[in-house]
């Protein structure tokens, strides 16, 4: 019995001494580095992904803070795809399809099954657009607000609303002249 106890004590002391030795070696290799703080501020547009929208509350808010479904076609996406019409731009947006355009004379979009050719759901810079074609080379972004939140923009079908934002004019006058000798 003494032999069994001495064997247990020997194993116990050997384990303690090995762990103590390993702990002293670990402490010798420890370095202290200075702390680095990383912060991200602002609403940014990075390529195809935009993080801010103004279609929901008529003020620029982050998309993640909105309880509504918003699809945003960024400037970069529109530049790369080069759509010729609004339906071409909205081709990959889910729940959106072309309605009766009366032979291509009007923009007519169905949103989630609602919509017709003159349902006043297309906005240009926040104002209701006329029945004519509304997509042009001056289009900067297109935002699609889906669902009943579209009543924010007046009497609408509950399918949604499209907001077309045009390039901003910075009130600069450009004069071009040709002088011949």
Q: How many percent of the chain have pLDDT more than 70?
A: 68
Average pLDDT over residues 157-166: 80
Average pLDDT over residues 154-171: 74
Structure tokens at 31: 């370095």
Model confidence over 35-87: pLDDT tens digits? Answer: 888 776 655 556 777 777 777 667 777 777 777 888 888 888 888 988 888 88
pLDDT at 103 over 70: yes
Residue 73: inside a domain, yes or no? Answer: yes
Domain enclosing residue 89, as ranges: 43-165
Residue 126: inside a domain, yes or no? Answer: yes
Instruction: Find, among 112, 127, 131, 130, the residue nearest to 165 by Cα.
Output: 127
Q: Identify the CATH number of the domain in which residue 81 sits.
A: 2.170.130.10
pLDDT band (50, 70, 90) for residue 157: confident
Q: What is the pLDDT of residue 7?
A: 61
Measured over the CA atoms of residue 93, residue 98, residue 104 and residue 107, the dihedral's sign is negative
Residue 63: inside a domain, yes or no? Answer: yes
Residue 22: inside a domain, yes or no? Answer: no
The predicted model scores a pTM of 0.61
Residue 173: inside a domain, yes or no? Answer: no
pLDDT at 92 over 60: yes
Residue 145: inside a domain, yes or no? Answer: yes
Q: What is the pLDDT of residue 33?
A: 84
**In the chain, how many domains are there?**
1
């Amino acid at each position: 019995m003494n032999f069994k106890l001495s064997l247990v004590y020997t194993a116990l002391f050997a384990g303690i001494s090995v762990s103590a030795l390993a702990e002293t070696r670990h402490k010798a290799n420890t370095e202290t580095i200075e702390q680095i703080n990383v912060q991200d501020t602002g609403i940014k547009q990075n390529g195809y992904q935009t993080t801010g929208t103004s279609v929901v509350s008529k003020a620029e808010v982050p998309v993640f803070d909105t309880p509504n479904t918003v699809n945003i076609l960024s400037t970069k996406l529109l530049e790369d795809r080069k759509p010729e019409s609004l339906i071409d731009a909205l081709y990959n947006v889910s729940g959106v399809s072309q309605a009766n355009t009366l032979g291509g004379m009007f923009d007519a979009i169905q949103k989630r099954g609602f919509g017709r050719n003159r349902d006043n759901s297309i906005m240009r810079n926040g104002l209701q657009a006329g029945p004519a074609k509304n997509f042009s080379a001056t289009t900067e972004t297109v935002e699609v607000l889906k669902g009943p939140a579209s009543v924010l923009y007046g009497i609408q079908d509950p399918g949604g609303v499209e907001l077309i934002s045009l390039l901003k004019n910075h009130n600069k006058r450009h004069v071009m002249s040709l002088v011949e000798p």
